[in-house]
A and B are shown apart, each in its own frame.
Chain A
Amino acid sequence: MKYLEEYRDPAAARSLIAAIRQTVRRGKRTPWTIMEVCGGQTHGLLRYGIDEELRDCVELIHGPGCPVCVTGLDAINLAQQLAQQSNVLLCSFGDMLRVPGSCGSLLDVRANGGNVRGVYSPLDAVQLARQQPQTEVVFFAVGFETTAPATALAVLQAAALGLANFSMLVAHVRVQPAMQAVMQSPNCRINGFLAAGHVCTVMGYESYHAFCQQFGVPVVITGFEPIDLLQGILACVQQLESHTTRVENCYQRSVQLHGNRQAQDVVGQVYRVCDQTWRGLGKLPQGGLTLREEYAAFDANKRFAATSQPEPLESAICPSGQVLSGQIKPPECPHFGVDCTPLHPLGAPMVSTEGACAAYYRYRAPHTVPLNQELLR
């Protein structure tokens, strides 16, 4: 991990912070507003206090890129329902197990006798299906284009093995439609984007050129370490100050223009683009992925007869949609840190380790008290 140390170098960070401050012209009354798309970036910014360092010249708005936060409530409810069926083993990524549905989380379902297991890879679920031929193993496939290649591979592997007891509940989401939805929202005040480096590693960034032109905002492909984040912010404000609008790759050690073709091919083979309901944002055109007809046999939605589900009602008092679209910051929510905490979350952004509310709670210790200046020195 020596490799990471150079991207956390305090001296390099200080000079980048100075460069950002110098780039933003003197006399600019309001800071530039830049949205970092990915929840991993949000955590990096808050953990290292970069948002506070730059407060006078850049306002960072936290985007919808936390995969478990945006997974549709109806999908979560269905997963919980499947997990309660005898003979079903429901598997998903660890983070997903804590997210509240309409009636508790998957961990609650497990505590009440449901068969739920956290796995590190979808291929582990395929392995479980091989080991337990009498059990229906269902993998709850969530996440962005970053996790889709692995879940697609699981389907291909299950097909090659002829597994009749493996299926997936697919709730994958695509980043760019969400960025479009954010730009089209009436109160949008975003000047530029830090695009999610890991999604671009898989998908490349060709498609951002049209986005950039359509909305007239710079898009900078950005990584996750403090130096990556600061380089991305610097490139973005340089464009904004010089009135240019283009796609720029500041995460070159990972991202190439065309992305990972092999991964894209696997995703394309197994999934097709579909409209998708995002938690907090509603139904987004082309916002997700669903299994192609050829792989319908692995579709848990089709395999298990739908029974009556609870209405996918969101908490009436949690404004997670406004948080996920960057309209408000977590501490602006009246419930933040009061009756909404990681122990008792009212909404998904407080649950996930990548959620914006969890990040503020963790790194700003909400409790809404401004940081003690003495401690900050």
Chain B
Amino acid sequence: MNESQLSFACPVPAAHDSDVVLLAHGEGGLLSRRLIQQRISPRFANQWLQSAPDAAQLLALQQPVVISTDSFVVSPLFFPGGDIGKLSVFGTTNDLAMVGARPRFLTLSLIMEEGMPLATLDRVLDSIAQAANSLHVAVVAGDTKVVPRGSCDGLFINTTGLGEQLFDAPPDATQLVPGDVIIASGPIASHGMAVLNARDQMGFDPPPASDCASLWPAVLALHDAGLTPRALRDATRGGVTAVLHEWAEVCNQSLKIDEMSLPVLPQVRAACELLGLDPLHVANEGMMLVAIPPHQVESTLYVLRRASPTTAQATVIGVVEPPGTFPVTVRRALGRRQPLDEPIGAPLPRIC
């Protein structure tokens, strides 16, 4: 037995120096307060967070208030093109943008897994701050909880966004009429394939990168140019197909798209081909479908392509037709028109 094994150790753990998240960080005591004071508040410095009450009193907005909430559970937390933090800001604010609301305020709820490195939390918080700043959105309230190891996958985030209605965007697709043109604001399927590749370490090279981005600049540009979309929708889970089916059902028309005109980046297409997934079914996080009257098509494309990097490759993918046998059809490469099915469940890769 050597000397070091005989030495006395202080029985009080030096928990506040931990470099991982502890259950105590969520208990509301000293560690909770320090976590907020040292890591969260400084990143979102604003008048509402200064006094740290449990609720923020917001200024009365001049326009009607729009609210939206979303939870984020993506795994892995970081992937090419984005991370859970950036996603939690743009995901919620894009929902506001789709109805013509300028994002103004955000709440931020963090559910952390015991044992997550605090360095990981710092990276995510930096990303949230950067995304929120880029939109001039203030994070005005929040909450932190810690759950025991194994109870969540690292970090879950919920954000609620408040926006002010700057203009009336169509709330749904009831206004679609035959002849309207459907535009995809950018390449499709990038986000879903980026996350799948990162999650399962598939090693696609170059790796597909997520399109995670704000669509507000593009929506605002359309409005400022006097354009009047008949419907706007960010094509997140379920991909382009889910939006088209929802629109077709709501407007009771038939939507017709052209497979050859779908914008898909080469590395994304390659990954989809290899796994047997249809890019039309794969999720996006910075891509919207815009339905526009035919006479506004050229100007819409012009405006979108200049509005933001994420909409620089906006392109026409289809048209609205009178109701037909099928709600949504796709013209395949060889020219035949087929019904486009809705995705069922999570897409699973084929085996050979």
- A residues neighboring B (CB under 8 Å): 1-2, 4, 8, 10, 13-14, 40, 47-50, 52-53, 67-68, 93-98, 118, 120, 142-144, 146-147, 198, 226, 342-343, 352-354, 361-365, 369, 371-372, 374-377
Provide the B324-349 mask, 1 if CB < 8 A to any CB of A, else 0.
11100100111111110100110011
The answer on a CB contact under 8 Å between B336 and A120 is no
Residues of A within 8 A of B339 (CB): 363-365
Taken together as a complex, chains A and B put the C-alpha atoms of A365 and B254 apart, in Å, by 14
The answer on a CB contact under 8 Å between A118 and B352 is no
B309 within 8 A of A: no
Task: Given A13-B333, A94-B349, output 20 extra A-B contacts at Cβ < 8 Å.
Answer: A8-B333, A8-B334, A10-B335, A47-B338, A49-B338, A52-B336, A93-B349, A98-B348, A120-B200, A147-B352, A342-B344, A352-B350, A364-B338, A364-B339, A371-B337, A372-B324, A372-B326, A375-B256, A375-B324, A375-B326
Residues of B within 8 A of A374 (CB): 324
From A52, A147, A226, A363, B351 is in contact (CB under 8 Å) with A147
Question: Nearest Cβ distance between residue B163 and chain A, in whole angstroms?
Answer: 36
Task: For B349, give the chain A residue with the smallest CB separation.
Answer: A94
Residues of B within 8 A of A146 (CB): 352
The answer on a CB contact under 8 Å between B334 and A48 is yes
Taken together as a complex, chains A and B put the C-alpha atoms of A144 and B352 apart, in Å, by 9
From A47, A143, A343, B332 is in contact (CB under 8 Å) with A47
Question: Nearest Cβ distance between residue B328 and chain A, in whole angstroms?
Answer: 10
Residues of A within 8 A of B332 (CB): 47-49
Taken together as a complex, chains A and B put the C-alpha atoms of A4 and B350 apart, in Å, by 18
Task: For A198, give the chain B residue with the smallest CB separation.
Answer: B352
Taken together as a complex, chains A and B put the C-alpha atoms of A181 and B15 apart, in Å, by 70
Question: Nearest Cβ distance between residue B329 and chain A, in whole angstroms?
Answer: 6
Q: Chain A interface: which of B82-90, B182-190, B269-277?
A: B269-277
B202 within 8 A of A: yes
The answer on a CB contact under 8 Å between B334 and A1 is no
From A94, A120, A343, B202 is in contact (CB under 8 Å) with A120
Taken together as a complex, chains A and B put the C-alpha atoms of A363 and B328 apart, in Å, by 12
Residues of B within 8 A of A365 (CB): 326, 338-339, 341
Question: Nearest Cβ distance between residue B192 and chain A, in whole angstroms?
Answer: 15
Top 9 nearest A-B pairs (CB, nearest first) are A49-B336, A94-B348, A365-B339, A93-B351, A372-B325, A146-B352, A1-B270, A8-B333, A48-B334
Task: For B275, give the chain A residue with the smallest CB separation.
Answer: A120
Provide the B268-288 mask, 1 if CB < 8 A to any CB of A, else 0.
011001001000000000000
Taken together as a complex, chains A and B put the C-alpha atoms of A345 and B53 apart, in Å, by 54
The answer on a CB contact under 8 Å between B333 and A376 is no
The answer on a CB contact under 8 Å between A97 and B326 is no
Residues of B within 8 A of A376 (CB): 336-337
The answer on a CB contact under 8 Å between A361 and B333 is no
B266 within 8 A of A: yes
16 sampled A-B residue pairs with Cβ under 8 A: A1-B273, A13-B334, A14-B334, A48-B333, A49-B334, A53-B336, A93-B349, A97-B348, A98-B348, A361-B341, A363-B338, A363-B341, A364-B339, A372-B325, A372-B326, A375-B254
Taken together as a complex, chains A and B put the C-alpha atoms of A131 and B336 apart, in Å, by 49
Residues of A within 8 A of B348 (CB): 94-95, 97-98, 118, 353
Question: Nearest Cβ distance between residue B330 and chain A, in whole angstroms?
Answer: 10
Residues of A within 8 A of B349 (CB): 93-95, 120
Question: Nearest Cβ distance between residue B193 and chain A, in whole angstroms?
Answer: 13
The answer on a CB contact under 8 Å between A95 and B350 is yes
The answer on a CB contact under 8 Å between A67 and B344 is no
Taken together as a complex, chains A and B put the C-alpha atoms of A142 and B350 apart, in Å, by 12
Question: Nearest Cβ distance between residue B219 and chain A, in whole angstroms?
Answer: 32
Residues of B within 8 A of A96 (CB): 351
Question: Nearest Cβ distance between residue A128 and chain B, in whole angstroms?
Answer: 13
Residues of A within 8 A of B266 (CB): 1-2
B230-273 residues with Cβ-Cβ distance < 8 A to A are 254, 256, 266, 269-270, 273
Task: For B332, give the chain A residue with the smallest CB separation.
Answer: A48
Provide the B189-217 mask, 1 if CB < 8 A to any CB of A, else 0.
00000000000101000000000000000
The answer on a CB contact under 8 Å between B341 and A375 is no
Question: Nearest Cβ distance between residue B277 and chain A, in whole angstroms?
Answer: 9
Taken together as a complex, chains A and B put the C-alpha atoms of A49 and B273 apart, in Å, by 19
The answer on a CB contact under 8 Å between A353 and B335 is no
Question: Nearest Cβ distance between residue A38 and chain B, in whole angstroms?
Answer: 9
The answer on a CB contact under 8 Å between A50 and B276 is no
Question: Nearest Cβ distance between residue B319 and chain A, in whole angstroms?
Answer: 12
Question: Nearest Cβ distance between residue B324 and chain A, in whole angstroms?
Answer: 5
The answer on a CB contact under 8 Å between B333 and A40 is no
Taken together as a complex, chains A and B put the C-alpha atoms of A352 and B334 apart, in Å, by 25
Question: Nearest Cβ distance between residue B259 and chain A, in whole angstroms?
Answer: 10
Task: For B346, give the chain A residue with the smallest CB separation.
Answer: A94
Taken together as a complex, chains A and B put the C-alpha atoms of A146 and B350 apart, in Å, by 13
Residues of B within 8 A of A226 (CB): 333-334
Question: Nearest Cβ distance between residue A228 and chain B, in whole angstroms?
Answer: 13
The answer on a CB contact under 8 Å between B341 and A40 is no
The answer on a CB contact under 8 Å between B338 and A354 is no
Residues of A within 8 A of B202 (CB): 120
Question: Nearest Cβ distance between residue A253 and chain B, in whole angstroms?
Answer: 16
Residues of A within 8 A of B276 (CB): 353
Residues of A within 8 A of B254 (CB): 375
Question: Nearest Cβ distance between residue B275 and chain A, in whole angstroms?
Answer: 8
Residues of B within 8 A of A364 (CB): 338-339
Taken together as a complex, chains A and B put the C-alpha atoms of A221 and B350 apart, in Å, by 22
Residues of B within 8 A of A118 (CB): 348
Taken together as a complex, chains A and B put the C-alpha atoms of A4 and B348 apart, in Å, by 22
The answer on a CB contact under 8 Å between B335 and A143 is no
Residues of A within 8 A of B333 (CB): 8, 10, 13, 48, 226
The answer on a CB contact under 8 Å between A354 and B341 is no
Question: Nearest Cβ distance between residue A319 and chain B, in whole angstroms?
Answer: 22
Taken together as a complex, chains A and B put the C-alpha atoms of A96 and B339 apart, in Å, by 26
Residues of B within 8 A of A371 (CB): 325, 337-338
Task: For B276, give the chain A residue with the smallest CB separation.
Answer: A353
